[in-house]
């Protein structure tokens, strides 16, 4: 019985190690292809697309998830960054809506064929907020 336990523990360690290695490779690849903006630079990069409050919100959501690489507006959320696909679609949306007194269920679906970059996600959050506010005023 203890032999099976040791084998299972080794399998968990091996799988965990492969997962961590994949994440570090992703971070290294992303860091090598673009600058690592500071928080003010990130907000400035998004200033033509969204309000500073929306950019700040996204920085807050991503900064603790990405300790060694800063988010960049042109990053794809889960192809370039180690972010689970459910985070932006569920947790971040709910938090953003709540911050603005809106209901996350009022957001439109993600536009078909649109890549989920940080910039596009920020725009979608703001468009959704406009829609949610319009629905609540009816």
Write down the domain spans for the chain.
34-136
Other Cβ atoms closer than 10 A to 26: 16
Other Cβ atoms closer than 10 A to 37: 17
Tokens (6 digits) for 119: 């910039």
SS3 call for 117 = strand
117, β-bridge pairs = 76
* Whole-number Cα distances in Å, 123 to 5, 81, 83, 110: 49, 19, 19, 11
Q: What is the pLDDT of residues 82-126, one digit of tens each?
A: 778 888 888 999 999 999 999 999 999 999 999 999 999 999 999
- Give the pLDDT score at 13: 55
The kind and range of the H/E element at 53 are helix 52-63
Mean pLDDT of the chain: 82
Q: How far apart are CA 50 and CA 48, in angstroms?
A: 6
The pTM score is 0.77
């Amino acid at each position: 019985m203890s032999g099976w336990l040791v084998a299972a523990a080794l399998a968990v360690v091996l799988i965990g190690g492969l997962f961590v290695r994949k994440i570090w490779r992703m971070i290294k690849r992303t860091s090598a292809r673009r600058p690592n903006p500071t928080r003010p630079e990130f907000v400035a990069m998004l200033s033509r697309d969204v309000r500073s409050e929306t950019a700040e919100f996204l920085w807050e959501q991503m900064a603790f998830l990405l300790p060694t690489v800063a988010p960049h507006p042109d990053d794809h959320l889960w192809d370039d960054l180690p972010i689970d696909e459910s985070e932006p679609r569920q947790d971040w949306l709910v938090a953003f809506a709540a911050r603005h007194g809106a209901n996350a269920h009022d957001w439109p679906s993600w536009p078909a064929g649109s890549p989920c970059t940080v910039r596009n996600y920020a725009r979608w959050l703001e468009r959704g907020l406009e829609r949610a506010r319009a629905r609540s005023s009816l």
